[in-house]
């Protein structure tokens, strides 16, 4: 990885398989810009703890923006070698997604995926506003952002899917908050004959 980031001639597998015996080609990485992205839950707290020691105090302003060299040193807590981080000329911290954006992601992206799966089984999936708020709040608390929304929804619909898929019946799966936890309830859909 370091050699590739430095700009060198590297051998690249052509078949994208995991075999070390496959065909390879040599490419130069000298003119390839590398962009790396990641989510680092708790990074802000590490940076604040580091910068509050000594004569400098933590900047309580905007948490987004370019990080200083001292702040970049906090990445080793996430398993990054200083040699890797040092290869990147600019490291920028983006703020966490606001709850409104998380709601849009959940309603417009994550939820429709599950609704389609349930519809294929003759089931409708309905998630209450309270349940949406609950999933967003848990995702924010855990620092998992948009990726955590999928996990929150899976946890609530998994048992309902297991119990009802393949039953050949029309029903609605309602996801709501009961006793401080997400719960699923199966409701029969009245047939009009």
pLDDT at position 21: 75
Query: Rounded distance, CA 118 to CA 100, Å?
Result: 26
44 vs 175: which has the higher pLDDT: 175
The per-residue pLDDT for 15 is: 77
Res 176: pLDDT: 94
Q: What angle do CA 38, 148, 42 make, to 5 degrees?
A: 50
Give yes or no for residue 58 having a pLDDT over 50. no
Number of neighbours of residue 26 by Cβ within 10 angstroms:
8
The conformational region for residue 123 under phi > 0 = left, psi -120 to 50 = alpha, else beta, is beta
User: Can you give the pTM of this predicted structure?
Assistant: 0.65
More confident position, 172 or 94: 172
Domains of the chain (ranges; CATH) run 2-93 (no CATH), 99-188 (1.10.8.60)
How much is the pLDDT for 24?
A: 86
pLDDT given for residue 18 in this prediction:
64
Q: Are the beta carbons of 95 and 63 closer than 8 angstroms?
A: yes
pLDDT tens, position by position, 20-51: 777 888 999 999 988 887 777 777 776 677 55
Q: What is the mean pLDDT of residues 125-152?
A: 90
Q: Which residue has the higher pLDDT, 175 or 168?
A: 175
């Amino acid at each position: 990885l370091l050699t590739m980031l430095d700009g060198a001639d590297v051998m690249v597998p052509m078949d994208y398989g995991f075999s070390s015996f496959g065909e390879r080609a040599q490419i130069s990485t000298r003119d390839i810009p590398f962009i790396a992205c990641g989510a680092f839950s708790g990074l802000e707290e590490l940076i604040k703890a580091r910068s509050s020691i000594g004569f400098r105090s933590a900047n309580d302003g905007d948490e987004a923006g370019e990080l200083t060299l001292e702040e970049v040193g906090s990445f080793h807590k996430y398993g990054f070698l200083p040699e890797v981080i040092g290869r990147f000329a600019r490291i920028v911290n983006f703020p966490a997604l606001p709850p409104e954006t998380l709601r849009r992601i959940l309603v417009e992206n994550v939820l429709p995926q599950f609704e389609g799966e349930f519809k294929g089984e003759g089931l409708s999936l309905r998630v209450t506003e309270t349940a949406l708020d609950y999933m967003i709040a848990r995702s924010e608390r855990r620092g998992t952002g948009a990726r955590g929304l999928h996990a929150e929804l899976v946890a609530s619909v998994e048992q309902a899917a297991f119990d009802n898929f393949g039953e050949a019946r029309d029903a609605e799966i309602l996801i709501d908050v009961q006793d401080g936890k997400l719960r699923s309830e199966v409701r029969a859909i009245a047939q009009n004959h």
